[in-house]
Amino acid sequence: MMGENDLILASVGNIIDGKLIVKEGPLKGLEDRVRKIERHDRWADLEMELFDECRTMRVGLQVVGRISGDEYSNINIYKAE
């Protein structure tokens, strides 16, 4: 999750049918832990357990688009060809 300088790098993803899908970055696979997204300021609140306590940390997240599941399926079909 940490970069070269011990910083958490920003992630990139889409919101598909109201659900966050991260395409790249440290949040990939941790979408279920995201509690709040601020698209315009490009951050997300991530809930993690640290030192046996539940903590919230703010991490960088760029949401590229907000699309429906049907639109996402069509995009993936065109990429496969």
Q: Please tell me the total count of domains within the chain.
A: 1
With a cut of 60, say whether residue 29 has pLDDT above it.
yes
| Residue 3 is assigned to a structural domain of this protein | no
| Residue 43 is assigned to a structural domain of this protein | yes
Q: Which residue range(s) make up the domain with 41?
A: 11-80
| Residue 1 is assigned to a structural domain of this protein | no
| Residue 76 is assigned to a structural domain of this protein | yes
With a cut of 90, say whether residue 53 has pLDDT above it.
yes
Tell me the mean pLDDT in the region 50-63.
92
Question: How far is the CA of 1 from the CAs of 4, 76, 77, 78, in angstroms?
Answer: 10, 27, 31, 31
| Residue 45 is assigned to a structural domain of this protein | yes
pLDDT of residue 65: 86
With a cut of 80, say whether residue 68 has pLDDT above it.
yes
